[in-house]
């Protein structure tokens, strides 16, 4: 389970800005955000399945993944984190990549996938849920969006809180620089849980209640589960990228940032 808020083609300084919390069992081996050896991919990495939930490439390709909250899952399903890697390694336009998944979507448990190419100003949302429908492929419109564990911009408690909080900060800073590290600490650590009437009523209400805040932390029979990484990705019109991450390392929160430039980028500002 994760949550991501992103501002797309709607700011005079940033064609793309994203805030993300990754929720997972604390005992699951994970590498923090880094350049992958022998690759142009930068992101965190699940050391068991070898996939990722959020990553970028030097070519300006970005992908972000969340699971879909559902009762029944397939233990033999393919790892969803591979979808992010596949897009970043491909040379296909986001729409072409999305179309290529149509024949493979049923091999995965429920997923939401955002794939974007900064150079072509193209972003696509993909989901293989609900099961009774064919895979959904949608061009993402410029503006502010929030992705949780339902379809894009679903009005879940945590999504609305994050959207409202971000809009307040955006109004505060106007068209100037946005201090994303400060936003991570102000917005992504919110532990406010939803009232029962605001829960989606998909599975156990206790579980939904525990998952309802932006920052999740819950004891389970399998160990502590919850937010173990908070990240921000900002892209400037000149191609400068800042990938900030606060992450848990043996129970200690650490922070770091990776800076790079998108290769051969040619953009005209949106505003």
Q: For the segment 139-158, what is each residue's pLDDT rounded down to a tens digit?
A: 999 999 999 999 999 999 99
What's the distance, CA 256 to chain centroid? 18
Whether 271 has a pLDDT exceeding 70, the answer reads no
**pLDDT given at position 131:** 81
Mean pLDDT of 77-102: 96
**pLDDT given at position 132:** 74
User: Percent of the chain beyond pLDDT 70?
Assistant: 98
pLDDT digits (tens, 9 = 90+) for 208-226: 999 999 999 999 999 999 9
Here the contacts of 126-133 (C-beta below 8 Å, separation 24 or greater) are: 126/98, 126/101, 127/68, 127/151, 127/152, 129/68, 129/70
Total residues belonging to the chain: 271
**pLDDT given at position 267:** 64
**pLDDT given at position 134:** 82
Whether 116 has a pLDDT exceeding 80, the answer reads yes
Mean pLDDT of 124-147: 94
User: What are the two backbone dihedrals, phi and then psi, of residue 202, each rounded to the nearest 5 degrees?
Assistant: -105, -45
Mean pLDDT of 96-120: 95
Give SS3 for 25: strand
Whole-model pTM: value is 0.95
Where do the domains of the chain lie?
A: 2-261
Mean pLDDT of 86-99: 96
Output the average pLDDT for the chain: 95
For residue 242, CA distances in Å to 104, 113, 121, 261 come to 33, 21, 18, 9
How many H-runs (helices) and E-runs (strands) does the chain carry? 5, 14
**pLDDT given at position 204:** 95
Mean pLDDT of 101-116: 95
pLDDT digits (tens, 9 = 90+) for 13-29: 999 999 999 999 999 99
**pLDDT given at position 265:** 81
For domain 2-261, is the CATH number 3.40.50.720? no
DSSP element (H, E) containing 244? strand 240-249
Whether 1 has a pLDDT exceeding 90, the answer reads no
157-173 and 180-187 are packed helices; what angle lies between their axes, rounded to 10 degrees? Answer: 140
**pLDDT given at position 264:** 80
């Amino acid at each position: 389970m994760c949550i991501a808020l992103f501002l797309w083609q709607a700011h005079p300084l940033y064609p793309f800005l994203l805030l993300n919390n990754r929720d997972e069992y604390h005992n699951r081996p994970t590498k923090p955000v880094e350049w992958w050896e022998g690759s142009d991919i930068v992101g965190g990495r699940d050391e068991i399945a070898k996939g990722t939930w959020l990553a970028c490439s030097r070519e300006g390709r970005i992908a972000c993944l969340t699971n879909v909250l559902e009762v029944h899952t397939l233990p033999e399903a393919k790892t969803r984190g591979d979808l992010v890697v596949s897009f970043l390694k491909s040379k296909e336009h986001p729409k072409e990549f999305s179309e290529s998944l149509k024949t493979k979507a049923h091999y995965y448990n429920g997923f939401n996938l955002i794939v974007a190419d900064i150079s072509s100003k193209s972003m696509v949302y993909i989901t293989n849920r609900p099961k009774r429908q064919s895979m959904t492929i949608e061009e993402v419109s410029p503006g502010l969006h929030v992705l949780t564990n339902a379809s894009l911009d679903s009005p879940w408690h945590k999504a609305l809180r994050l959207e409202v909080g971000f809009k307040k900060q955006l109004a505060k800073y106007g068209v100037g620089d946005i201090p994303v590290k400060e936003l991570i600490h102000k917005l992504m650590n919110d532990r406010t849980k939803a009232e029962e009437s605001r829960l989606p009523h998909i599975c156990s209400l206790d579980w939904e209640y525990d998952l309802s805040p932006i920052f999740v932390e819950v004891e389970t029979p399998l160990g502590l589960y919850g937010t173990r990484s908070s990240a921000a990705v900002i892209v400037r019109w000149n191609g400068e990228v800042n990938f900030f991450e606060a992450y848990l390392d043996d129970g200690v929160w650490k922070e770091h940032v990776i800076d790079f430039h998108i290769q051969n980028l040619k953009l005209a500002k949106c505003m």
